[in-house]
Amino acid sequence: MKLTSAQVALLGETISLTPRAGWFPVYNPADAGVLAYVQEHTADDTRTAIAAADKAFPAWSGKTAKDRSIILKKWNDLVLKHKEEMALLVTLEQGRPIKETHGEVTYGASFIEWFAEEAKRAYGRTIPATLPGKHLQTIKQAIGVCAAITPWNFPISMITRKVSPALAAGCTVVIKPSEETPLSALVLLQLAKQAGLPEGVINVVNSTKAAEIGGVLTSDPRVKKLSFTGSTPVGKLLYAQCAPTMKKLSMELGGNAPFLVFDDAEIDAAVEGALASKYRNSGQTCVCANRLIVQSGIYDSFAARLTERVRELKLEEGWKEDATLGPLINRKAIDKVQHLVDDAVKKGAHVELGGKAHDLFYEGTVLTNVSREMELFDTEIFGPVAPLFRFETEEEGIAMANDTPFGLAAYAYTRDIGRAMRVAAKLQYGMVGMNDGLISTEVTPFGGVKESGLGREGAVEGLEEYLSIKYISYGGLGAI
Ligand code: ADP
């Protein structure tokens, strides 16, 4: 399927429908067709974007929070006004079923709305003085030019979750979207311009040579902060690259989410939670349940019920109304998922359902009899494959859940209030869904511990990431 005329109009001159020298193709993962061509930006273009952001910073940060908020609200309204075209655009360039991409647009917009409101609440403090004649105060100030490097799996919300707090705080930004999904970013840019964001406040660089662009963004001293969402190896590389210029960092990296089901869980709720957490976006989210860790008393019935429900999922092109599982993002993703399933089967896993690719689509899959030795215990699957590990005691379940260097999201199902509180406290994760398979909202702090990263996005904490605290001591004031 091709772009609609409404989408082409929205994208304007940021795309070409025919090949052009120095432009790269954007593919529809469901049928491998070319959707459009976008300009391949260079290292020099990136420096130009940084210069533009740097030039725009004094005026933008000098506006009142309310004035910035008014523009952000207009941006939010425009995104929601174009919800239909944008939802279909995400489906076309990322593959996700249309049923889910409406949610991606409203989720994305929710960050713009939230931070438009929070812009006005970047409060400092007055601290009781330690000596007479002094006044001690903190103020919060915008950090400066911020770089945002974003992934393809949430091509709208991963941008707005970084850019909205940055803009609300008074920062200016340079965004490097995933080369798989530049079109969603370009629509956001066009709508931001329509909303009245001044020249240079928001800049987008697109490239298939991510390392080259990343090299500039992480080394340029004018960039004061990098916010990255993506894989752990790339995150670690960028972390190191930012050290010489000591940039402030937010890193939202990989996960290996455990989904614990205790014998006393309400089984239907646990199955529905697993379905939502595991198969949403065909398993391609960093908070997707990666390891279903099920207590032995409920293991067989949970496996049977989950298999029944996964059988109902419809593997189809995302633009078809009844699709619930779309294609994976590309061939490499399919090969990785197949490799993990093959490895598990070779080591003794039973395929209860699925286990095969159909070109760029992967079947909803349930594996039982899986064990710690299989690669998928330690690897983020990023596909619609649920491996069901077995455990006996609460301690063993928690230990299995924590047996990973990652610490982004974890889930647990139990009806025992004491166990719920114990387990929530003991899980070494930044976020816990207790009897809840869908936890992401704009009003709560999203982020991980251990090798899943640092910093928080969304919520009041999300704004802090783009502010620095200045302490001012006013002396010699006399008696006050
Ligand atoms: P994924 O496997 O989810 O695509 P990546 O970490 O490879 O995760 O990609 C996330 C984002 O990081 C994308 O925008 C990608 O282009 C970018 N990226 C990948 N490698 C580098 C790099 N060496 N430097 C800067 N950005 C990079």
* Whether the CB of 151 sits within 6 Å of ligand 1: yes
Same domain, 55 and 172: yes
Q: Per-residue pLDDT tens for 134-161?
A: 999 999 999 999 999 999 999 999 999 9
Same domain, 286 and 341: yes
- How many CA atoms does the CB half-sphere of 364 hold within 13 Å? 22
Is 477 part of any domain?
no
With a CB cutoff of 8 Å and minimum separation 6, the contacts of 154 are 104, 107, 108, 281, 285
The pLDDT value recorded for residue 479 is: 82
Q: What whole-number distance in Å separates Cα of residue 65 and Cα of residue 377?
A: 46
Is 448 part of any domain?
no
Is 388 part of any domain?
yes
Same domain, 276 and 249: no
Mean pLDDT value of segment 1-22: 97
Catalytic, 252? Answer: yes
Is 226 part of any domain?
yes
With a CB cutoff of 8 Å and minimum separation 6, the contacts of 60 are 68, 167, 170, 171, 172, 198, 201
* Whether the CB of 231 sits within 6 Å of ligand 1: yes
Task: Indicate which residue's Cα is closest to atom 3 of ligand 1.
Answer: 230
* Whether the CB of 440 sits within 6 Å of ligand 1: no
Q: Per-residue pLDDT tens for 420-473?
A: 999 999 999 999 999 999 999 999 999 999 999 999 999 999 999 999 999 999
Q: Which CATH number do you get for residue 64?
A: 3.40.605.10
The pLDDT value recorded for residue 425 is: 98
| Ligand 1 pocket test, candidate residues 231, 287, 336, 452, most atoms within 8 A of CB | 231
Is 478 part of any domain?
no
What's 198's DSSP letter?
P
Phi, psi (degrees; rounded to nearest 5) at 208:
-90, -5
| Ligand 1 pocket test, candidate residues 178, 284, 287, 330, most atoms within 8 A of CB | 178
In terms of residues, how long is the chain? 480
* Whether the CB of 150 sits within 6 Å of ligand 1: yes
Q: Which of 93, 100, 252, 451 is catalytic?
A: 252
86 CA to centre of ligand 1 in angstroms: 23
Same domain, 114 and 219: yes
DSSP assignment of 73-119: HHHHHHHHHTHHHHHHHHHHHH---HHHHHHHHHHHHHHHHHHHHHG
User: Of all residues in the chain, what percent carry a pLDDT higher than 70?
Assistant: 100
Is 124 part of any domain?
yes
Angle between helices 182-194 and 83-94 (to 10 degrees): 160
pLDDT at 396 over 80: yes
Is 479 part of any domain?
no
The number of domains in the chain is 2
60 to 55, 138, 161, 186, 227: CA distances (angstroms) = 10, 21, 19, 21, 20
Q: Give the global pTM.
A: 0.97
Catalytic, 363? Answer: no
Same domain, 434 and 459: no
Same domain, 237 and 280: no
The pLDDT value recorded for residue 464 is: 97
379 CA to centre of ligand 1 in angstroms: 17
Q: Per-residue pLDDT tens for 272-322?
A: 999 999 999 999 999 999 999 999 999 999 999 999 999 999 999 999 999
Task: Indicate which residue's Cα is closest to atom 23 of ligand 1.
Answer: 211
Same domain, 346 and 294: yes
Q: Per-residue pLDDT tens for 53-106?
A: 999 999 999 999 999 999 999 999 999 999 999 999 999 999 999 999 999 999
Q: Which of 146, 171, 286, 288 is catalytic?
A: 286
176 CA to centre of ligand 1 in angstroms: 9
Q: Which CATH number do you get for residue 333?
A: 3.40.309.10
Same domain, 247 and 330: no
pLDDT at 388 over 80: yes
Task: Give me the residues paired with residue 251 across strands.
Answer: 228, 454
Same domain, 200 and 287: no
The pLDDT value recorded for residue 108 is: 98
Same domain, 111 and 30: yes
pLDDT at 2 over 90: yes
pLDDT at 129 over 90: yes
The pLDDT value recorded for residue 480 is: 75
Same domain, 457 and 429: no
Is 240 part of any domain?
yes
The whole domain housing 110 covers: 5-253+453-470
Same domain, 32 and 113: yes
pLDDT at 268 over 90: yes
Q: Per-residue pLDDT tens for 187-202?
A: 999 999 999 999 999 9
Q: Per-residue pLDDT tens for 201-219?
A: 999 999 999 999 999 999 9
